[in-house]
Amino acid sequence: MVIGYLLRESVSGFRRAPLAVWATLTTMSLALLLVGLVVLIAYDARQVVEGLKEKVELEVFLLDPPARPIEAWLAELRSDPAIESVAYISKDSAAAIFRREFGTEAELFVAYDFLPASFRIHLRPAWRNPDSAAAVARRLQAMEGVDEVVYNQALLLRLEENVRLVSWMGAGVGFVVLLAAIVLVVNTIRLTVYAKRLLIRTMKLVGATEWFIRLPFVLEGFLLGMLGGALAGGMLFVLRELVLASYLPAFQVLRWPGEHPLMLWGALVLFGALVGMLSASFSAKRFIRRTPLS
Amino acid sequence: MKAATPLVILDRVRAGYEGRAVLDGVSFRLDQGEFCYLVGPTGSGKSTLLKLLYMELLPISGLVQVGAFRSDTIRPRQIPYLRRRLGVIFQDFQLLPDRSVFDNVAFVFYVTGRSGRDVRTRVLHLLTMVGLSHKRYRMPHELSGGEQQRVAIARALALDPELLLADEPTGNLDPHVSEDIMRILWNINRQGTAVLMATHDYAMVRRFPARTVALVDGRLVEVNPGVL
């Protein structure tokens, strides 16, 4: 019965103070939508950068003739912790590629054997930054039989700079949005608490403990937060999958955080529930202490 | 003759708001089962004194003791347990407008963690005592002022308090309804509950005479109800 009472009271606001509940729910959904948008934009930006970094490859040109068997090279390179994949481009393959890329104009070069054999190397994600890539390049350059190591250092440098800038900006915007969302939710949830001031006063009068008075508000905040998170997640899905995708089809290539829209949706529901619960608990605590009995 | 047991003790109490003393040097004792009026003009500190008893307000100096609860040692989390031993009624009834008469009384049991079939029996008993069991499904706005105050009294008695504090309980009621309320309070007192009633309705005090204390210039003095 007591549990039944607590549950009834926690959902009673929906009926007894619908305006306050709707105001809180709307604010929460919008605040969580903003938080979700920041997370999504940050995740998308990261994916774009990672995608670009993935394309950066090191080309290791070998002296002719090779100093040792290709298998020995491949075995050594594949065991390197910095290297994700290695492809061997023989002199013949290099000539074929040259012919394919330059077409008939390539016929100007009568003999193709000036093209050296090479390895195309992709680094593991942790090494895809200017310093690590340069260190790997230096190490490869020092190997016997290597003529030259070439890679797009400028692109890596530019990406690194932009990532740093975008990360700081993203963290700053994310922090402000999060703070604004919490302040907004705390303030609007006060409306639902204020709407029940008479109930609080009476509960205090008859000797209800502070926790007992607070619990229905905490549960209500939890429910409102969950609902707000669910609505925000839904709006985010519609925005990205339907609205944005029809204007910017490139976005369809990008993955949702955790590979599935439900992951972000679930995270928003959980986060909303947590923020709602804590905000309600905080607001109710202050209000309970300040509500006079007469 | 057996000595009366004190239920409330105020010892040289100074109390007020934001440093301004409304009560100064107030000493008072109320025994178990006693009926006492607290009189004085508006603003004399009657409600302040009652607030000290349900510890909405703690004294600036001096001691307030209600049963085993002392103002100098009580912790905020113990205050609800003090209030469960008191019943409090106000001039403005303070009923919850969104629930029935029955639920207004049953509410006390739920919020103090009691449940079960005996809650229903007890609520019906309390409503019968104040003559309102037949209106248990009505909402407060469907009742007259006197009926609302009777519901408030039933609610205040729900947990069998040792002391009933009444802050101007007849202040909003017309004379004959006020008399009904007084008779109910009188009966409650006869059954053993101490009653401390703040009022400035001197006619009522003369009609139902009992021990009377008056607040004059922040101090408490015993007065003869007959001369009010």
Which of A206, A212, A291 should we substitute to test contact with B (largest number of B Cβ atoms within 10 Å)? A206
Residues A47 and A189 in one domain: yes
Which residue among A151, A172, A189 closes a domain?
A151
Of the three residues A91, A117, A151, the one that is the final residue of a domain is: A151
Pick from B83, B98, B167: CB nearest A16: B98
Q: Per-residue pLDDT averaged across B207-215, rounded?
A: 94
Domain count, chain A: 2
> Between residues 71 and 90 of chain A, which touch chain B (CB distance below 8 Å)?
none
ipTM for the complex?
A: 0.87
A212–B81: do the CB atoms touch at under 8 Å?
A: no
Q: What is the pLDDT of residue A129?
A: 84
Q: Please indicate, yes or no, whether residues A37 and A64 belong to a single structural domain of this protein.
A: no
The pLDDT value given to residue A38: 84
Supply the pLDDT for residue A1. Answer: 53
pLDDT at A168 over 90: no
Average pLDDT over residues A209-217: 89
Round to whole Å and give the CA distance between B146 and B182.
11
Is residue A193 assigned to a domain?
Answer: yes
A1, A16, A207 ranked by CB distance to B112: nearest: A207
What integer is the mean pLDDT of B86-91? 94
Q: What is the pLDDT of residue B127?
A: 96
Alpha carbon B120 to its chain centroid, in Å, reads 24
pLDDT digits 0-9 by tens, A97-139: 877 777 766 566 656 567 788 899 998 888 888 888 889 889 8
Mean of pLDDT over chain B: 92
Residues on chain B touching A210 (C-beta within 8 angstroms): 76-77, 80
pLDDT band, residue A257 (cuts 50/70/90): confident
Quick: pLDDT tens for A267-288.
999 999 999 999 889 888 888 8
Question: Smallest Cβ distance to A205: which of B76, B77, B88?
Answer: B88
- Do residues B220 and B48 lie in contact, with contact meaning Cβ atoms separated by under 8 Å? no
CB contact under 8 A, A198 and B115: no
Instruction: Decide if pLDDT at A157 tops 90.
Output: no
Residue A66 and residue A117 in contact, taking contact as beta carbons nearer than 8 Å? yes
Q: Does B20 have pLDDT greater than 80?
A: yes
pLDDT given for residue A234 in this prediction:
94
Assess whether A109 and A219 both reside in one domain: no
Residue A94, domain CATH = 3.30.70.3040
Q: Find, in chain B, the residue whose alpha carbon is nearest to that of A293.
A: B56
Average pLDDT over every residue of A69-93? 86
What domain range includes position A29? Answer: 2-51+164-290
Closest by CA to B136, choosing from B126, A16, A221, is: B126
Total Cβ atoms within 10 A of residue B46: 26
